[in-house]
């Protein structure tokens, strides 16, 4: 059974700092990994999706990396801003095929302070 772990569970950083969020998974036979953002009381916003053939994916100040062999992904946020405060979740699909149910980590709750 696939298990997804995220550390740290919570993180507080001052504005402007660069930071890294970690995601690990037990079954390396994945074909993609997706990072989401969740604001309090809201749904999930997709940030980045990395295919298994990719090692990195970038969107603005966000960079996600994937190392399948070690079962790890990182989300790098550059020059953090208070608006980045949210919970960040990683998820991997459970089955191959056209669409698959996602297994989520428990998330990292990020607070960026002024």
Partner 1 sequence: GAGVSQSPRYKVAKRGQDVALRCDPISGHVSLFWYQQALGQGPEFLTYFQNEAQLDKSGLPSDRFFAERPEGSVSTLKIQRTQQEDSAVYLCASSSFVYEQYFGPGTRLTVT
Binding interface with partner 1 (CB under 8 A)? 4, 31-32, 34, 36, 41-46, 49, 89, 91, 93-94, 98-107
Number of Cβ atoms within 10 Å of the Cβ of 73: 27
| Cα-to-chain-centroid distance, residue 57 | 11
Task: Compare residues 32 and 85 and give the one whose CB is closer to partner 1.
Answer: 32
What secondary structure letter does DSSP report for 82?
G
Shortest Cβ 32–partner 1 spacing (Å): 6
Shortest Cβ 25–partner 1 spacing (Å): 12
Angle at the Cα of 51 from the Cα atoms of 16 and 13, rounded to 5 degrees = 15
Shortest Cβ 15–partner 1 spacing (Å): 26
């Amino acid at each position: 059974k696939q298990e997804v772990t995220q550390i740290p569970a919570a993180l507080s950083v001052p504005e402007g700092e660069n930071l890294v969020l970690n995601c690990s998974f037990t079954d390396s036979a994945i074909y993609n990994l997706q990072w989401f953002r969740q604001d309090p009381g809201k749904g999930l916003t997709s940030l980045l999706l990395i295919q298994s053939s990719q090692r990195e994916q970038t969107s603005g100040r966000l960079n996600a990396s994937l190392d399948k062999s070690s079962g790890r992904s990182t989300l790098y946020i550059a020059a953090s801003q208070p608006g980045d405060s949210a919970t960040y979740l990683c998820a991997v699909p459970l089955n191959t095929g056209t669409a698959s149910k996602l297994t989520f980590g428990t998330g990292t709750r990020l607070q960026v302070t002024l």
